Amino acid sequence: MEKFLSSGLPEEVPAFVDDYFEAIGEASVQSMMFRQYFVLNIQFTVSAFLKRLGCEPPAILKENTLYDALVSVEGARSYVKNLLGSALALRDQVVNSRYTSMLQKTVAYLKQQYTQPDISLNTVAGVAGMSPSHFSTVFSQQMGQTFVEYLTSLRMEQARSLLRCTDKSSGDIALEVGYNDPHYFSFLFKKVNGCSPRDYRMGRKSG
């Protein structure tokens, strides 16, 4: 139950509850006394889990509907499904809120530090207070692009600006936006923008 509350998906709730009831056994769930013990135990587990997340209990725990739900096996089953569905919805709200705050912090950090050549996934994950693998997954899911893709986009945006507005060489611009190797910078610039830094500058001037 704890594992499902931590990592289960809302759409998995019906099947999870059905399997849970089946594992208990038909004879056991036919007893109203056992159903009461069983459902109260689930309530306690859900309440403890949400408390650790800092959540208020869902409305279903505050309503006086438990006795009516326990009258039948199907009523108890439906009650548990609603309870777990509410718990997962609250969990996801909390997690998304925390991720939003974390991403705002890391994006601000990246916008300040993207010109540093030694900036890495490990460095930024440390700023976020997460493991590199977890941070990488969350960043990709929430931002719609990988950490490397986002970092590259920041650097390329600045590189294009410098090519348009200054006469600095491609090598100097590479260093200024975080690339120690000007050849790699030129390769990446062409990959992202479809033309070399020189051609980009010439095209802008001729335009």
Q: Residues 93-121: pLDDT tens digits?
A: 887 787 888 889 999 999 999 999 999 99
Residue 114: half-sphere exposure toward Cβ, Cα within 13 Å? 20
Q: Domains in the chain, start-ordered, CATH in brackets?
A: 2-95 (no CATH), 114-207 (1.10.10.60)
What predicted TM-score, i.e. pTM, was given to this entire model? 0.61
Mean pLDDT of 181-198: 96
Q: Residues 70-85: pLDDT tens digits?
A: 888 999 999 999 999 9
